[in-house]
A = this chain, B = another copy of it.
Amino acid sequence: MEDGVAEIAPALIAALDLFGIAVFAASGALAAARLKQTLVTFAFFALLTGVGGGTVRDLLIGAPVFWVQDWRFPATCLATALLVWLTPVRIWSPRALDWFDAVGLAVYSVFGAWKAASLGIGPLPAMMMGVITACVGGVIRDMLAGVPSIILRPELYVTASALAAGLYVLLFWLGMPIILAAAISAAAGFALRAAAIQKGLAIPAYKG
* Number of identical protomers: 3
Closest to A35 in B: B152
Cβ–Cβ < 8 Å partners of A129 in chain B: 68
**Do the beta carbons of A204 and B67 come within 8 Å of each other?**
no
The 8 Å CB contact of A38, one of B37, B124, B154, is: B154
Interface size class on chain A is 35 or more
The 8 Å CB contact of A125, one of B38, B71, B116, is: B71
Indicate if A4 sits at the interface (CB-CB under 8 A).
no
Beyond known contacts A36-B207, A68-B121: 11 more, CB 8 A cutoff: A33-B206, A36-B206, A38-B154, A39-B203, A55-B60, A60-B68, A61-B68, A62-B64, A62-B68, A74-B124, A74-B125
Residues of A within 8 A of B (CB): 32-33, 35-42, 44, 47, 55, 59-62, 64-65, 67-69, 71, 74-75, 85, 88-90, 116, 121-125, 128-129, 144, 149, 151-152, 154, 158-159, 162, 202-208
